[in-house]
Amino acid sequence: MAKVLINGYGSIGKRVADAVSKQKDMEVIGVTKTKPDFEARMAVDKGYKLYAAIPERKSLFEEKGVDIEGTIFDVIEDADIVVDCAPGGIGKDNLENIYKKYKVKAILQGGEKAQYVEDNFNALWSYDRCYGKDYIRTVSCNTTGLCRTLYAINSATDIVKARVVLIRRGADPNDAKRGPINAIVPNPPTIPSHHGPDVCSVVPELDGKIITSAVIVPTTLMHMHSLMVETTGTTKDDIIDAIEKTPRVFMVSAEEGLNSTATIIEFARDLGRVRYDLNEIAIWKESINVVDNELFLMQAVHQESDVIPENVDCIRSMLQMEDDNMKSIEMTNKAMGLMK
């Protein structure tokens, strides 16, 4: 059993903890919080051992009556690996000041810079490269979504170049501090955006072939991507077949009522998904089209949850628990109840 410590029990951390706890070959030995908020109380209620991420704040938990086992330094030496789910930018400091000091393997999230780690992870593309490594980053929700779909396309034809427009949600549903409220904001206003280089950190062979642009809009549910991919030649049927064979990617039909990100989230609710998580990437079947050698499609990305199964597979890769990426993906998907 791999002993996994989750450093940061927030939007990503609580989902990673739940996913890890469902795996037959892993266990969560603890989760950390920086403050005794409702998520800290819920972690304890769910049976996770809670630790203070910042030792100086241990007394705050005691004052609020939140049961903790100690601080992160009381548990980190027992961990085989740490999944860092701290807010963006903090993971780098944790890597330098804690994980390397205690010589424990660590996974950072997509909010950190690619250059701080040994490699960047996607279960389909870079599982073998990350095998046995000590410090890896699982890429962001948008990059994860693009990597999966580009993998499907690449399995059917060669990619000459890719142009992607990302329509990004303004904030997560629980974030009342961010916007925009009544605007569409180029983010960044320069082209290319950082998403293309981030894809190349996972798929180096796409370097020089992919250019992305991005805007943020007043919604909280999901991102949407519009892909325009020039290939060496393919057909619509070949792409549909490739999507059907690719794990964690599936097609939805606007004709059947799944005509927006809102209805896709409703679909996730109807599936009985906890927190209405949709770990898979939803591609609108009607959007798939091939004109000459150029492929077009649109997809929806649930930003809170698509990276979660990648973290689980990354644990197996780094700890050398399974040398076949597709077997790891199958194990993770089955334990999490994901669609085939």
CA distance 224 to 260: 10
141 as an active site residue: the answer is: yes
Looking up tokens 């929700």 gives 141
Q: Please, are residues 247 and 197 in contact by the beta-carbon 8 Å criterion?
A: no
- How buried is 30 (Cβ within 10 angstroms: 0-12 exposed, 13-18 middle, 19+ buried)? buried
CA distance 91 to 109: 8
CA distance 307 to 9: 15
What lies within 8 Å, CB to CB, of 248 at 6+ separation is: 123, 148, 279, 280, 281, 306, 309, 329, 333, 338
Q: Looking at beta carbons, which pairs linking 51-60 to residues 24 or more positions away fall under 8 Å? A: 51/75, 53/7, 53/8, 53/86, 60/35, 60/36
- For 187, left (φ over 0), alpha (ψ -120 to 50), or beta? beta
Q: Which of 130, 141, 200, 314 is catalytic?
A: 141
Looking up tokens 């780094």 gives 318
What six digits make up the tokens of 23?
């795996």
Q: Please, are residues 203 and 139 in contact by the beta-carbon 8 Å criterion?
A: no
Give the largest Cα separation in the chain, rounded.
67
Q: Please, are residues 309 and 145 in contact by the beta-carbon 8 Å criterion?
A: no
Q: What is the DSSP letter of 86?
A: P
Which are the catalytic amino acids? 141
